[in-house]
Amino acid sequence: MHTVLQQLVNGLSLGSIYALLALGYTMVYGIIKLINFAHGDIYMLGAFWGYYVINQWHFSFWPALISAMVFCALAGVIIEYLAYRPLRNSPRIAALITAIGVSFLLENGMSYLFSSNVRSFPQVIAVKQYHLGSVTISNIQLLILVVSIVLMILLQLIIKETKMGKAMRAVSVDADAAQLIGINIDRTISFTFALGSALAGAAGVLIGLYYNSIDPLMGMTPGIKAFVAAVLGGIGLIPGAALGGFVIGLIETAVQALGFSAFKDAVVYAVLILILLVRPAGILGKNVKEKV
């Protein structure tokens, strides 16, 4: 029993990182129907920013986290402005290839500028283990869980309660109609990229702290996993992304705990395919009836 609970804790903290990343994917997809392949690399930028400010400017954890979020938000907005905005009215697949190009550029640019070595992330918070009955949980796992959940609640508040959030929802339903009633589409899309990238930046700093190592290619695999999470939950839906992230985190740790760690990714994909076959629009997605 206690191993099950222990794996549950591990799975939830891994899942919350996936969920943070998946939220960025799903928001961008919801608003411009673009699979933003570069999202995983924004997360890598966040981790490197955290590494830099902690080492060079001796930031403590919270300033590092918040400055990484601001930095990544800026990076996201700049990438959107330079690479995606010119392609707003082109075929979606062209924008997808551009996103892949941006992802390559960030990965290889960072490798070129800062070498592709793995470096260890400065441990700004001393690791403490808490024992709750038979379950061990470290303060970093707790921090990851709490920070992600707070950020998710904040995001939900922004989207549901603020004017900008209302604009985001309007643009994702119908961009032309939104423009007709006076919503500035470009600004709304920039804001969406800023929000999503900020979450990715936070995830980058948290994962740096948790796994203690960062490198320029670290964004590739979690990026794809987070995208799978977003699809699993129903892409374009904010609660779906969070749910998908937690589900994937839990499946991964469960498979690993059962001793099949070599097949961990295969199981994730198999579950994804099975769920899509039963629910073609993801767990929370609604099946829209097609009208002729």
Interface contacts to another protein, rule CB under 8 A: 29, 35, 83, 86-87, 90-91, 93-98, 100-105, 107-109, 111-112, 224, 227-228, 231, 235, 262-263, 265-266, 269-270, 272-273, 276-277, 280-282, 290, 292
**Dist. CA 229–CA 106, nearest whole Å:** 23
C-beta of 259: minimal distance to another protein in Å? Answer: 13
The pair of structure tokens assigned to 291 is 């009208």
- Length of the chain measured in residues: 292
C-beta of 154: minimal distance to another protein in Å? Answer: 27
Burial class from Cβ neighbours inside 10 Å (0-12, 13-18, 19+) for residue 232 reads: buried
**Dist. CA 66–CA 77, nearest whole Å:** 17
150 with 20: CB under 8 angstroms?
no
* b/e burial code for range 122-131 (CB count within 10 A of at least 16 → b): bebeeeeeee
C-beta of 28: minimal distance to another protein in Å? Answer: 12
C-beta of 78: minimal distance to another protein in Å? Answer: 13
**Which one, 126 or 292, has the nearer CB to another protein?**
292
C-beta of 96: minimal distance to another protein in Å? Answer: 8
**Dist. CA 42–CA 48, nearest whole Å:** 10
**Which one, 170 or 235, has the nearer CB to another protein?**
235
**Which one, 206 or 228, has the nearer CB to another protein?**
228
**Which one, 31 or 206, has the nearer CB to another protein?**
31
C-beta of 93: minimal distance to another protein in Å? Answer: 6
**Dist. CA 166–CA 177, nearest whole Å:** 13
**Dist. CA 267–CA 256, nearest whole Å:** 10
**Alpha helices per DSSP H over the chain:** 2-32, 39-56, 61-79, 92-114, 139-161, 163-173, 175-180, 185-211, 220-233, 238-257, 264-278
**Which one, 62 or 112, has the nearer CB to another protein?**
112
**Which one, 162 or 221, has the nearer CB to another protein?**
221
